[in-house]
Every structure is written in structure tokens, then in C-alpha cells.
Structure 1
Amino acid sequence: MENVNFSDIFKSSFLEKTNSFSIIDSLIGLLVAFAVGLFIYWVYKKTFSGVIYSHTFNISLIVMSMATTLIIMGISSNILLSLGMVGALSIVRFRTPIKDPMDIVYIFWAIVSGILCGAGFIPLVILGSILIGAVLIFFINRIKVENPYLLIVRYSDRTIENPIEHVIAEHSLKHSIKSKSVMPGDDHEVTYEIRIKENNMSFINNISDMKGVKSAIMLSYDGNFTA
């Protein structure tokens, strides 16, 4: 009977994985992932155009890049570990709502950068990140798109509908009725989507001063509106 000692068992499992692990390559990959994450952080901060800037979300983009790099480094040299990692990640449920579509772009950018850094494609991730950042900065900061506004008017006298339409048409480039409702007490509420001229919103005072108008509210509209 052949004798099997503890060193033979230890050598067959742990040492083989340790010998195949390169500290220098891992540090390079993690440092590049951190640098790319910082670049994503900077681009996100420069191009943010939402309502409330989330610093914690921006920091998570850096960590996401580095964590993805670690995962790719770990599973690239071990098939069994890769299968186990896929099974573990498949049960994770991310329940944080993403309201701005651009946030999904930055999340995907951070994940892809981490994958490339973990796989060793350093020049590709650097070149791709520079080009993506330049495109985002150019299209978001340099090209201005006039977002429409929502004008919500509540009134009790139906005879002022035409005067309201006249004031809106005079001070807007384009307008259309999005909704109209009748409330208890013969109150009416109409919602207009309008594009104003040169950001001049002084006409809302003229509408609110009309006899029979109870309220006039102007809201910025970027495609997501919650009543």
C-alpha cells in the first residue's frame, strides 16, 4: 500500500493554483481597472444632466470595474470556478431601480471595462474608454437638445380654453394637448406639451392671471414623468 502524506494532498490542490497566479499581472489589471473607473467617474460627473446627482452611484462605477476584473481573473484559469461563479451570480437580484437610461450605459461601460482588464486587453480598454468618454462628452455637453415642458392648467370656466390656447401658441414653437380631464365641481385640467421660445416662461403668469384659472404649473419633461 502506497503511503500518501499531507504534503502530497496539499501540493496537488493549493500549490498548483498558487503557482499559476501572477501578482504582477493582477496588480496591473487592477490598477488599470481603477484608472478606467476614475475616468468613468469623471465623465459621469461632467455629463450628468438629471435631477439629483448621486455620488455613491458614481463611486460604485469604480468599484464595479475593479470587482469585475477580480472575477474575470479568478475564473479565467479555472473552469470549475467559472461554472460555480456563474451559478452564484445567477441567484443575485438587483432591485435598485434605474430611472435614467444613461445610468445603464455607465454601468455597462464599467462592467465591460472590468472584463477587458481581467482578460488582459489593456490597450483595448484604454482606447475604447477614451473614445466612449469623448462621444458622451460631445453629445451630452456640446449638442444641446431642447427638452419639452409640461404645462398643467386647472380651470373652472370652459370659455377660457381658447384664450389659453392663444397665449400658448403665441409664446411657444410647438404645442399639443397630452391629456384633458373633468373633475368634481366642474373643474377641468388640461396638460400641454410645449416647446417654448428662448426659455421664456413669463407667459405662465398671463395664464394664471386669467379669470377662472385656478392654477398653472410648468414642469420640465425629459421623457419620464410621474404624477
Structure 2
Amino acid sequence: MNDVTNFQDLFKKSVLHLDAFRNVSYVDILLSLLASFGIGLFIFYIYRKTFRGVVYSYNYNVTFVLMTMITSLIIMTISTNIVLSLGMVGALSIVRFRTAVKDPLDIVYMFWAISAGIATGAQLYPVALIGSLAVGAALLWLSRRKLREQPYLLIIRHSDAAAQNVRTALSKFTYTLRSKTVRKDMIELTVELRLRDDNTSFVNQLSEIEGVSDVSLINYTGDYAQ
């Protein structure tokens, strides 16, 4: 019974004392906003350096800076009053984001910006700074690793007479046939290759085979080409 009474008293005090903002230090507010802005700029820089997609979007990258600052504001707001925190949770629960995220790595940056905003809003500056430096260093290191094979689509259009020579040339690689289209005397092959470097001289060798009309090599990541 005492626990219920204490909770009711706490809730009533929180409702009645909505002037809790008077006790908030303006220096702390400015410091949190500056810290979140600085870390947001760091996220902005790391995203631009490690971007490997098709088209870089400046506006999308700017959202990480603003997301960090806005999250910091939310944390500072809900930490002052329990009623405001409940209201904020209710308001945010009705928000629905329907923008499709094509690259799963973008979700990492979103969570990074939100986590940094939470840490700066709670005035846990060492956590925000050290954590952001660690995440940024990991992303930079992973983005420069070139041991992973890159997937490519190789499209070859050739005549029936050149089919054997094309198969012989392709036997040097480990590939997967994705499609084969036959149009009268022309055959179009689409195969998937995985290469460890940017050596594409074999494309010129394939194009020099008699009966091959054209050869295209496309680097792709899942459902879009680049």
C-alpha cells in the first residue's frame, strides 16, 4: 500500500510541478546540443567517406546530424518530468516511417545517430565520444577491406558459331549462369562472376572472340546496379 501511495505522490508531484524546466541549466543544454552537433558532423563525415552505393545523397546524410541533435533534445525533455516522458513515448509511438532503406548499413548509421543523441542528452559525454570514435574507426577499417569478392554480372551477346569459344573463355572463372536468351542466330548470356580486384582485361579478350558482338560487365549489390 505504501508503494502505491508513494507512486501516486510521485505522479502527482510530477503533474503539479511542470515548472521543472526552471531548474535546467542553460549551459548544460548548450553543451549537450554542441556535443550532439559535433558527433553528428563526425557521423556525416564517416558516412560520406564509407559510402559505396549508387548515388550519394547529401540530404540523407544531413539527417544523421539533425537526428543526433533532435534525439538529444528529446532525452533532455523527458528527463525533466515523468508526465512529459510518458507523453513523448505516446507521441512517438504513432509515428510511422515508410521510407525504404535499400542498404542495411544505413540502419547502422541511424542507430548510431540515435545512440549518440541519447548519450549526449543524458550528459554521458565520454560514452558518446568514445563510442562514436570506436564505431567510426570500425566503419572506416571495414570499408577499406578489399578481401571480400565483389559480385559482377557479365552479359555476352554472341553467335551460335562462337558458343564453344565463349564457354572455353568462361571456364577460367567460377561463374553462375543467370539467364540465356536465344534470338535467331544471336545468344545472350548473363552470368554472375565474383572478382577480388578491378582487373577487367578479360572483358577485352572476350570481345575479341570472333562472333561476339558485345560484352558488358556490371558491378551490382543485390537489387541495384552501380
Among 110, 114, 125, the alignment partner of 1:107 is 110
How many equivalent pairs are there? Answer: 212
Among 44, 47, 51, the alignment partner of 1:41 is 44
- More off after superposition, 39-48 vs 214-223: 214-223
- More off after superposition, 191-200 vs 124-133: 191-200
SS at match of 1:195: strand
Q: Is the 8 A contact 1:177 1:190 kept in 2?
A: no
The residue that corresponds to 1:162 in the other structure is 164
Percent of aligned positions that are identical: 44
Residue 198 to residue 48, structure 1, CA distance change in 2 (3 Å): closer
Matches of 1:40 and 1:198 in 2, distance apart?
29
SS at match of 1:220: strand
**Alignment of structure 1 residues 121-140 onto 2, 5 Å:** 121-140=124-143
Residue 164 to residue 225, structure 1, CA distance change in 2 (3 Å): farther
Residue 53 to residue 192, structure 1, CA distance change in 2 (3 Å): same
- More off after superposition, 24-33 vs 61-70: 24-33
Q: Is the 8 A contact 1:151 1:194 kept in 2?
A: yes
**Alignment of structure 1 residues 74-153 onto 2, 5 Å:** 74-153=77-156
What RMSD, in angstroms, separates the aligned Cα atoms of the two structures? Answer: 2.6
Matched, 1:59 2:58: no
Deviation at 1:148, TM superposition (A): 2.3
Q: What amino acid maps onto 1:193 in structure 2?
A: E
Q: What amino acid maps onto 1:181 in structure 2?
A: K
TM-score normalised by length of structure 2: 0.81
TM-score normalised by length of structure 1: 0.80
Residue 182 to residue 48, structure 1, CA distance change in 2 (3 Å): closer
Matched, 1:216 2:218: no
Unaligned runs of 5+ in 2: 1-14
Residue 198 to residue 21, structure 1, CA distance change in 2 (3 Å): closer
Deviation at 1:155, TM superposition (A): 3.9
Q: Is the 8 A contact 1:147 1:220 kept in 2?
A: yes
Matches of 2:49 and 2:20 in 1, distance apart?
43
